[in-house]
């Protein structure tokens, strides 16, 4: 019994993104898997920032990629394809946040103390994973606002519209998120310096 399915070399598809996208629009699962493989790591990095842990990030990415394959025919081939996928991932994260029951955490930010250290110096003590963990440790609303403002470059007005909150709340939450992160950074630096 011989398998009659024709397999295409992934590199051939990657060299011709338009052909790959067209094949994905046509519902070719193999092409879809190639496309997924191409963007999975980058998009998972994005999803990790919006999630509190790996599992949640995987859920967001799963929903995001399903949406990508469903909406591929809406892609106009103008602008960055990666940017388009990233945008879908962000919207998937927002959707995930809005559909999950909200937890209102009481956050203590009184004990935060500032240390006059440069970013490069901090980076020499802390690696990316630690910083990511700090972001993930933020309360969901703070994490969402921080991500949208810092990484997506959204204005507080836009964030407020996306999350269904007031602009003032967005600003206030962002401020609190930064304080929490500063505190977390300071604590981590203390630990790192002690070692």
User: Which residues of the chain form contacts with other proteins (CB under 8 A)?
Assistant: 1-5, 7, 27-30, 32-33, 36-37, 40-42, 44-46, 48-49, 54, 57-58, 61-62, 65-66, 69-70, 112-117, 119, 122-123, 128, 131-132, 134-135, 146, 149-151, 175, 178-179, 181-182, 185
Nearer to other proteins among residue 7 and residue 195 (C-beta)? 7
Decide if 94 contacts 163 (C-beta within 8 A).
yes
Nearer to other proteins among residue 52 and residue 178 (C-beta)? 178
Neighbours of 16 (CB within 10 A): 12
Please give the Cα distance from 178 to 181 (Å, whole number): 5
Q: How far is the CB of 168 from other proteins (least distance, A)?
A: 18
Nearer to other proteins among residue 6 and residue 78 (C-beta)? 6
Nearer to other proteins among residue 66 and residue 105 (C-beta)? 66
Decide if 135 contacts 143 (C-beta within 8 A).
yes
């Amino acid at each position: 019994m011989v398998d009659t399915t024709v397999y295409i070399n992934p590199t051939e598809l990657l060299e011709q993104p338009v052909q790959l996208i067209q094949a994905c629009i046509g519902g070719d699962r193999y092409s879809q898997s190639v496309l997924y493989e191409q963007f999975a790591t980058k998009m998972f990095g994005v999803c990790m920032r919006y999630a509190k842990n790996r599992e949640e990030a995987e859920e967001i990415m799963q929903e995001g990629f399903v949406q990508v394959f469903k909406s591929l025919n809406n892609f106009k081939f103008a602008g960055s394809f990666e940017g388009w996928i990233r945008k879908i991932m962000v919207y998937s994260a927002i959707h995930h946040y809005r559909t999950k029951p909200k937890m209102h955490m009481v956050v203590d930010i009184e004990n935060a103390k500032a240390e006059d250290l440069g970013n490069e110096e901090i980076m020499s003590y802390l690696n990316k994973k630690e910083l990511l963990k700090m972001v993930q440790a933020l309360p969901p609303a703070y994490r969402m606002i921080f991500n949208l403002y810092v990484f997506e470059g959204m204005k507080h007005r836009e964030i407020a519209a996306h999350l269904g909150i007031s602009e003032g709340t967005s600003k206030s939450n962002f401020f609190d998120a930064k304080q929490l992160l500063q505190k977390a950074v300071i604590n981590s630096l203390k630990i790192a310096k002690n070692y």
